[in-house]
Amino acid sequence: MKTSDVIVSFRGVRKTYDGETLVVKQLDLDIYQGEFLTLLGPSGSGKTTCLMMLAGFEFPTGGEIRLEGKLLNNVPPHKRDIGMVFQNYALFPHLTVEQNVAYPLGVRKVPTAERAQRVNDALKMVRMEGFAKRYPAQLSGGQQQRIALARALVFQPKLVLMDEPLGALDKQLREHMQYELKSLHEKLGVTFVYVTHDQGEALTMSDRVAVFDKGIVQQLDSVDRLYESPCNEFVANFIGDSNRLRGTIASVNGEYCEMHLADGTRLTGRNVAGAQAGAAAIACIRPERMKLAANGAARNGSNALSGEARGLIYFGDHVRMRCGLPQQDECFVKVPLGTEALDGFAPGQPVALEFAPEHLRVFA
C-alpha cells in the first residue's frame, strides 16, 4: 500500500473515560483505501473505542483522527460520510425495510426520485429487494443484518464501520454471512473497518488485522503473517491455537536460540524477542506443526518431546490428541484421521512428538 492510498490516519490518539485510565494508549494507525481492516481483541482491549472515535460517537482525549486529510476530532457523526453497522442492527421498528434504508438519504436531503432508485439498488446489493414493505420484526436475524448493511451503504459512504455485526447470529449463519460480507467488499471496493473478538471471523474476511490488548495494537499485519509469525506471546495465543513451553534460553545463534526445559529437554527455535542467554522464556508451537514421531524417534534436525497421550478430541476431519509433558502444561497435537498411531489408542500410552525448529517461536 502507498502512503497516498491512506484514507484514515490515527496519530497519537489516546482515550480515557475517567481521566486516569487510558482505554486507548498512543494509537498510530493508517487505514488504506479499499481495504478490509479488522480490529481484533478481547473485551476491554480498546478496539470498539477506536471504532466509536472514528464514527464520532466518542471523541479522543488526545491526538488526531483524519479522514482523507480532514481533521475529524470535533466533527459530528452525521457529517463524517461514514456508514455504520451495529451489533443489534439499530433498525427503526416502526419503519418498513425501504423506509429504514432510505433514512440516511432523507437526512442528506437526497431528491425523492433518486432516493427510491438508490434504495432499490442497495436492497438488490444485499439480495433483499423482495422485502421492501416488511417491518424489521418480520425478518430473521440474518435478514435484519442485510438491511442494516444496505442502510450503511445506500448513501455511498467513503468508509463503512461494523461493530461485531454478526455476534447475534447462530454459528452456521454467521459463517455464511462472513463470506457474503467479504464478497460484497470485493465487489464494491469500499473501505471496511470491522470490530470483532472472534479470531476466525478476522482471519476469514480481512486483508489486515490490528490485534489489540490493553489499549495498544500488539501487531498489525496480514492474516497469514499474524498466524505464522506472531510478534509476541499474546498474539501467538490469541490468534489460533498454540502450545506453550516454558524454559530458559541456553544460547543464541543468529535468529535462532537453544532453549532448555525444566526436565532437561533441549529445543531450538526462532528467537523472536531477541532474548539473551539466561533469560526465562516461553515458546509457542501450533498444534498442526507438531507430529507424532514415527517409531517413537524424531527425525534428524527436528525438535523432540516425550510425553504421554491423555485423550482424543474429534474434529471431523482430524482429531486432537491431548498430551501430558513433564513439568509443562498439556499440549495438543493435530492428527489426521487414519494415522497409524491412532490404531489401538489408549490413554496413558507414551508418545514422542517432533516439530521443525522454524515453527517454534521463542518469546522472552
Instruction: Give per-residue pLDDT as tens, 315-331.
Output: 888 889 999 999 999 99
Same domain, 212 and 259: no
Q: Residue 307 and residue 309: Cα distance in Å, rounded? A: 7
Picking from 204, 234, 264, the residue at the C-terminal end of a domain is 234
Q: Spell out the residues 6+ positions from residue 197 whose beta carbon is closer than 8 angstroms to its own.
A: 40, 41, 42, 43, 47, 164
Same domain, 50 and 183: yes
Contacts of range 265-269, beta carbons closer than 8 Å, 24 or more positions apart: 265/304, 265/305, 265/306, 265/326, 267/303, 267/305, 267/357, 267/360, 268/303, 268/357, 268/360, 269/303, 269/357, 269/360, 269/361, 269/362
Q: How far is CA 152 from the centre of its chain?
A: 22
Q: What is the pLDDT of residue 78?
A: 83
Q: What is the pLDDT of residue 336?
A: 84
Q: What is the pLDDT of residue 297?
A: 63
Q: Residue 353 and residue 296: Cα distance in Å, rounded? A: 8
3-state secondary structure of 169: coil
Same domain, 7 and 39: yes
Give ∠ CA 194-58-104 in degrees, rounded to 5.
65
Residues in the chain where the model's pLDDT stays below 50:
none
Can you give the C-alpha Rg of the chain in angstroms? 25
Same domain, 220 and 247: no
239-271 residues labelled b (16+ CB within 10 A) or e (exposed): bbebbebebebeebeeebbbbebeeebebbbbb
Same domain, 162 and 22: yes
Same domain, 217 and 266: no
In this structure, what C-alpha cell is assigned to residue 360? 517454534
Same domain, 152 and 118: yes
Please state, in angstroms and as integers, the Cα–Cα distance from residue 48 to each residue in 54, 174, 334, 339, following that order: 10, 20, 34, 44
- Domain total of the chain: 2
In this structure, what C-alpha cell is assigned to residue 44? 476491554
Picking from 215, 234, 253, the residue at the C-terminal end of a domain is 234
Beta bridge partners of 354: 291, 304
Picking from 234, 250, 285, the residue at the C-terminal end of a domain is 234
Q: What is the pLDDT of residue 364?
A: 83
Q: Residue 122 in contact with residue 146, Cβ under 8 Å?
A: no
Q: Hey, what amino acid is at 224?
A: D
pTM of the full predicted structure? 0.88
Same domain, 20 and 160: yes
Indicate which CATH number applies to the domain containing 258.
Answer: 2.40.50.140
Instruction: Give per-residue pLDDT as tens, 281-308.
Output: 999 999 999 998 876 666 777 899 999 9
Same domain, 268 and 223: no
Strands, E, within 95-222: which ranges?
A: 159-163, 191-196, 208-213, 216-222
Range of the domain at 123: 3-234
Indicate which CATH number applies to the domain containing 56.
Answer: 3.40.50.300
Same domain, 125 and 266: no
Same domain, 139 and 8: yes
